[in-house]
Structure 1
């Protein structure tokens, strides 16, 4: 195939296109004028290291040439002297059409022969050990097929043993304050030479002895090698079926597009609380009934809801407001239990540790309260230099993680007398709102940075070490760990690239991206998970709540699926008998109530 016969634009004063035949020599070329021959010969050169001709191209142009698998820049041609006599005899040049790529020792085959890149990437900052993954729309089945094809092509072409290579580098947690690294070979490290494509040699006695094997390639009825056939026929774990469209969409008017607020939370009794403006609504997953719980704006005030948090077990809901007040509501009877003050500005985040309620505010303080005591006040700490925008309790280790707009992540002990944090982490370069404790490993914390950071970092809060980090390429708004598998979900916002406002599922600790869910048109600021751990709900400034079946069912000793005494009711409407279910009679006011903006009842089935 003569693929070197091509036409190239020669830049000149007239910017005209000149056709240059490279793959063969024509007899018509002998009748050309000396000036024409001199101009063409000045553009061509026979490379002494290759059996082909080379064009005078820039290295950048060569990188985009699909017919140059070596991807190495070729030296520019040397122009002939301009004062050469036109009548002087010229050496006849013959150009062949054979193209043999150069494969030196230590050549990265997976990079050199990957003609189609997987997608755009964002450069990492700092050391090369930090992974960069730009979130994109992925498909597990397509990725698996692509990896299998790459392995088979390499095995069939170069004779290497086919292996199942993962898409992402597996970063196992290491006890170090630095990110986990993958050692790179230094230039002086001896490397095994790549086998030659064409190797002509007499068969050895060892090779001849293999003819007795029934699996020898000479006895095969197919050109595919035995090792490749074994790889193709080997049983594989089926990929999880994951829908990339939400199965339910709820309209949420006046859902604020504010990065520092937390306006969506899902209770253990399977009721979703949503803050819309100054009002709080409850949506029952059992009956799809919607109830307006309260309007925090008293007559004559402009107060509005800024954060919501359900108690770990029960029907108690804490409501934080812009005025710095915390309202405690018993949603089962529809009654406000108490109102607590203590902050001077809005309360953007809250979390529970049993009956201890911790709140963070724009006034840079963290307040601990015991809602059972008449004198609820426990302690107050002021360590963050700017607004506290993230709080998460780890009930297994009794540690509290707090993130602030000062780009600092602090770890606190549960003792109320401690006014100084146990650990201070300053690696993030933006506000830290997304915090999540792993339910599968004690002391494992995931934190996400804002638009100037874009990284998810993993910490060992037992010894204070940074385990791993990954650059997601976009603002990290929220994080949640799966209750049923070692996976986590992240929601994203601003991004310099074309892909933003996405929901990403990750496998830990390899941080292989399982899927990317898209549909929101604004930043996905809010995230909550159902009690059974199978469904997540996301909220954004586009004033919609989208429900996704993101995680598998919890495995039980008797088989797969949720346990019989699981908490909550499936969002598909199938009731699960349990003592903690919240029926329609438990909701105050039935299915309606109130005027103004309201969580619409219609749900668009996708």
Structure 2
């Protein structure tokens, strides 16, 4: 109710000004004049204010309107009949649900990623499965065997190669077109729960508290080893210009790194729980969002160009993932204890656009379709749910693009 009343307030203001002050003060053009007298000051300076014996012609735009039954004047009726911009409706139920047996309920893992080629990669137990959003076909990419499990998956930007992080600290690079493993990268001493690509450079974060930067094209791939976190590294994201890497840890710290330093260039320490959820804004250079775990529950925004905090909102529950819309200035968060919700927020005021429910376990996994319209969420309830969350991208001529095609089929394997 509160959101609806806020949305109708501008119309109500215009209606009151039209009825009380006349037609000249109902048009949006008068807003520009008002701003000179300061915000919120709607009182004009009519020449006939408190004059005695105002003529009928100056009071009534149309003399016949005196005999009409409606208490609302003609100008106000025209105002009410003006088409209002339709509010975007976000469906509260997923349009598709896939069964995902053995999808782990582990906060520190990243087991779902959606490629630029429109293929979803999902780690289930010791296996990685690829699901084509165009054809609904599923293939098993790999099986690590009974002694190992998949702990993270991450597509390259072009979407043809997939990095697979494992429980034993190995990172495998797969050519998904050929279903062939092309590299195995060792170095981590514990599970690799998070990875992020920067062109040919892969950042991997581990329970061993270290971050490796590796160029997978060269024989000796290690560019640098980044040390700073005191506990498991559970979140990694490169900025869109590939100049900054954000890392979150189970030590409640958020660090910013660049390509030329092995120590953080900025340290943010305001969170009071693990920082897994990290997202760079595609709309504003240097704007970073991060979310804290169960004891924190907050989404915080940072300016990494000035190393300064911007704002904070308490969500009321564990923040598991954050992702910005590509098409509008909104951000989606997924939550664990205790509400298991998906929330779409309007930035920068952080008003809720929609709250989506349905998962019965923590919503630990989140990915977005290449066109930015659809999000997929995963949880320990062993389901993947697809939601129509955002409007389509606009083409160069301003027209809305086409949606992805999702054929039938409801089992991932």
TM-score (norm 1): 0.59
Q: Deviations over 1:65-100 (max 9, x none)?
A: xxxxxxxxxxxxxxxxxxxxxxxxxxxxxxxxxxxx
Query: CA 1:460 to 1:205, structure 2 compared with 1: closer, same or farther past 3 Å?
Result: closer
SS of residue paired to 1:466: strand
Query: CA 1:458 to 1:226, structure 2 compared with 1: closer, same or farther past 3 Å?
Result: farther
SS of residue paired to 1:209: coil
Contact 2:112 2:365 in 1 (8 A): yes
Which of 296, 301, 305 aligns to 1:453? It is: 296
| Matching of residues 250-269 of structure 1 within 5 Å | 250-269=98-117
Structure 2 residue aligned with 1:375: 220
Contact 1:397 1:442 in 2 (8 A): no
Structure 2 residue aligned with 1:463: 306
| Matching of residues 120-131 of structure 1 within 5 Å | none
Which of 385, 390, 394 aligns to 1:551? It is: 390
Cα distance in 2, alignment partners of residues 359 and 540 from structure 1 = 23
Q: Deviations over 1:324-361 (max 9, x none)?
A: 11111111001111111111111110000001111111
Q: Report the CA distance between 1:559 and its aligned residue.
A: 3.4
Which of 275, 279, 282 aligns to 1:436? It is: 279
**Between Structure 1 and Structure 2, how many residues are aligned?**
386
Q: Report the CA distance between 1:226 and its aligned residue.
A: 7.2
Structure 2 residue aligned with 1:354: 199
State which structure, 1 or 2, has the greater radius of gyration over its C-alpha atoms. Answer: 1
Cα distance in 1, alignment partners of residues 272 and 76 from structure 2 = 47
Q: Does 1:247 align with 2:90?
A: no
| Matching of residues 95-110 of structure 1 within 5 Å | none
Query: CA 1:515 to 1:210, structure 2 compared with 1: closer, same or farther past 3 Å?
Result: farther
Query: CA 1:215 to 1:493, structure 2 compared with 1: closer, same or farther past 3 Å?
Result: farther
Cα distance in 2, alignment partners of residues 160 and 409 from structure 1 = 55
Cα distance in 2, alignment partners of residues 527 and 155 from structure 1 = 44
Which of 377, 395, 411 aligns to 2:240? It is: 395
Query: CA 1:281 to 1:207, structure 2 compared with 1: closer, same or farther past 3 Å?
Result: farther
Contact 1:254 1:543 in 2 (8 A): yes
Q: Does 1:340 align with 2:185?
A: yes
SS of residue paired to 2:80: helix
| Matching of residues 134-533 of structure 1 within 5 Å | 143-144=3-4, 147-148=7-8, 152=12, 205-206=50-51, 208-209=53-54, 212-214=58-60, 219=66, 221-224=69-72, 229=77, 232-297=80-145, 301=147, 303-415=148-260, 418-495=261-338, 500-533=339-372
Q: Deviations over 1:164-212 (max 9, x none)?
A: xxxxxxxxxxxxxxxxxxxxxxxxxxx99xxxxxxxxxx9843753753
Query: CA 1:239 to 1:283, structure 2 compared with 1: closer, same or farther past 3 Å?
Result: same
Contact 1:477 1:492 in 2 (8 A): yes
Cα distance in 2, alignment partners of residues 464 and 600 from structure 1 = 45
SS of residue paired to 2:334: strand
Contact 2:15 2:79 in 1 (8 A): no
Query: CA 1:146 to 1:314, structure 2 compared with 1: closer, same or farther past 3 Å?
Result: closer
Query: CA 1:210 to 1:401, structure 2 compared with 1: closer, same or farther past 3 Å?
Result: farther
Q: Report the CA distance between 1:395 and its aligned residue.
A: 3.5
Structure 1 residue aligned with 2:376: 537
Cα distance in 1, alignment partners of residues 20 and 221 from structure 2 = 69
SS of residue paired to 2:399: coil
Q: Report the CA distance between 1:225 and its aligned residue.
A: 6.6
- Greater strand proportion: 2
Query: CA 1:224 to 1:370, structure 2 compared with 1: closer, same or farther past 3 Å?
Result: same
Cα distance in 1, alignment partners of residues 94 and 115 from structure 2 = 20
Consecutive unaligned residues in structure 2, runs of 5 or more: 27-39, 42-47
Contact 1:154 1:160 in 2 (8 A): no
Contact 2:361 2:380 in 1 (8 A): yes
SS of residue paired to 2:130: strand
Q: Report the CA distance between 1:505 and its aligned residue.
A: 1.1
Contact 1:281 1:294 in 2 (8 A): yes
Q: CA RMSD in A?
A: 3.0
Query: CA 1:147 to 1:270, structure 2 compared with 1: closer, same or farther past 3 Å?
Result: closer
Which of 400, 405, 413 aligns to 1:571? It is: 405
Q: Deviations over 1:524-565 (max 9, x none)?
A: 1100011111111000111000011111111113232228xx
